[in-house]
Amino acid sequence: MDPYNFRNCQSLFGYAAEVHIKSGGRCQLCFCGGAPFDFNLWRQMTVEHIIGESQGGYLYQIREALASRFPNLSPDKREAAARRIDSANTVTACSFCNSTTSRNVNERSMSAVLMETPGEIDEVIAYAKAELQRILDAKQKDVAWKLASVRQAFERDVLPKLGATPTNDADLKTT
C-alpha cells in the first residue's frame, strides 16, 4: 500500500505548519501542547485567525485593504506588510478553542484597523499588531472561562463513565 499523501492535511502542513512552528506547537488560546510534542494533540491543531475572514482577516483581504490604503506603496512593500500583519493575525489553536471562538465578532474589522489608523505603513502595522494582541488577550480570557465550565461538566458527567469504556486502540478494533 502506498503511503497517504500527508500534503492533503492542509491544516497541519504548508501555511499551517509555519503558524504551528511559530506558535511552538502550542494552542495560543488555552496553551495546551508544546514540548514535549505529542502527535495525537498536534494533529488536532488548526490555524486560528484572530480577526477572521468574515471581518477581513485573511491574507488576500489584508492585501486588498493595504492596496486601497497605500496605493503608492510598492507592491513588494505592500506584500511584505500584508505578510507581517497576517503573521500577527494567525496563531495555533486546538480544535476546542477554535470551535469556541469561531463565532466571536470583534468591534473592528481588519480593514477598519488598517484604513482608520493614522500614519505610514510601519505605524499602521504596529497599531494592527497591538490591536491583534488585545483581541488575542480577550480570547484567552474567554477560553479560560469556557474551559473551567467544561472541565466541571466533564469531571461530573463524563469522567465517571469513562472507566467502563475501552482504554486503548486495540480494544476499539472490530473484526
The answer to whether residue 172 is domain-embedded is no
Domain that holds residue 60: 6-160
The C-alpha atoms of residue 125 and residue 108 are separated, in whole angstroms, by 15
The pLDDT confidence band at residue 14, using thresholds 50, 70 and 90, is confident
Which residue from 148, 132, 40 is spatially nearest to 95, judged by alpha carbons? Answer: 40
85-121: pLDDT as tens digits:
999 999 999 999 999 888 888 889 999 999 998 999 9
Which alpha helices (DSSP H) does the chain contain, by range?
Answer: 15-22, 39-42, 59-69, 75-89, 95-101, 110-116, 121-153, 159-162, 169-172
135-174: pLDDT as tens digits:
999 999 999 999 999 999 988 899 888 875 555 555 445 4
Q: Which three cell numbers stand for residue 124?
A: 499602521
- pLDDT value of position 7: 77
Structural domains of the chain, count: 1
